[in-house]
Amino acid sequence: MYTKSYLLGIFLLVGLLIVNSNSLSYDRAFEAEKADTLEEPMVVAEEDEASDGKYIWMEGEPLTGGGDKGWAEYKLDIPAAGTYALWARVFVWDGNSDSFWVTWQPADPDEDAQVTKNTEYRWSIGKKNEWHWDRINHWLNGGTFDREWELPAGESTLRIAVREDGAKLDVVFLTDNLSADEADVNPRLPGPEDSITPVEAKEKLTTTWGKIKFQR
């Protein structure tokens, strides 16, 4: 009898974890140009193909060098401690305009990547000459890998800084879906669901516990 109820307990616990991991889903999209702070020479520019007709960049022509000046900073409220990924809608011309620096505190330290040139924070964008969604990665000297951030609940600070001029940033999409498959993650443009107050994920946990207790 003891073994039976013990197994039942394990079964219910596993069930709870599965239900709960499914319910704890959060994403949010926001316009890059609606930064809390925009430091020149990163500026807002207009283009019909950009979401809301605007994007941000350090102005630059194809095939030129230049950059490492200016940044955008976003204060983001994280609803629940967890692991998060970022996607962004971007346009880059070529190999001379296809990267940014990205730091997200408190997961990342308060480090100015434009000064330190730390490759941990270097984001390389592969697809050229076309507006597209790109998973924010780090371009290390040994290869390029998708990034994930372990964040506590509460305020966080995301900084996307110019590394090469001419790279355009339109929309940022924050998600706890860590899949590398764009179709699975389905990054999207900002909509009415992107309220300033984050979704309270804890309510679903309470409901799940209540149901399991009732079944017993």
74-to-84, 104, 172 alpha-carbon distances in Å: 15, 9, 10
Shortest Å, Cβ 34 to Ca ion: 8
Q: Which is nearer to Ca ion, 102 or 167 (CB)?
A: 167
CA 80/CA 174 separation, integer angstroms: 13
By CB under 5 A, the residues from 162 to 191 that bind Ca ion are 164-166, 170
Shortest Å, Cβ 26 to Ca ion: 21
Stretch 19-58: interaction string toward Ca ion, x if CB under 5 A: ------------x------------------xxx-x----
- Could you say whether residue 70 binds Ca ion (CB under 5 A)? no
Size of the site for Ca ion (CB under 5 A): 13
Consecutive H or E run containing 9: helix 2-23
Which residues lie below 8 Å from residue 71, measured CB to CB, with a gap of 6+? 38, 39, 42, 101, 114, 159, 160, 161, 162
Q: Which is nearer to Ca ion, 108 or 164 (CB)?
A: 164
Shortest Å, Cβ 137 to Ca ion: 19
Burial bucket for residue 134 (CB in 10 Å: 0-12, 13-18, 19+): buried
Shortest Å, Cβ 35 to Ca ion: 11
Closest CA to 172 of 100, 70, 106, 80: 100
63 near 94, Cβ under 8 Å?
A: yes
Shortest Å, Cβ 19 to Ca ion: 36
Contact set with Ca ion (CB under 5 A)? 31, 50-52, 54, 60, 64, 96-97, 164-166, 170
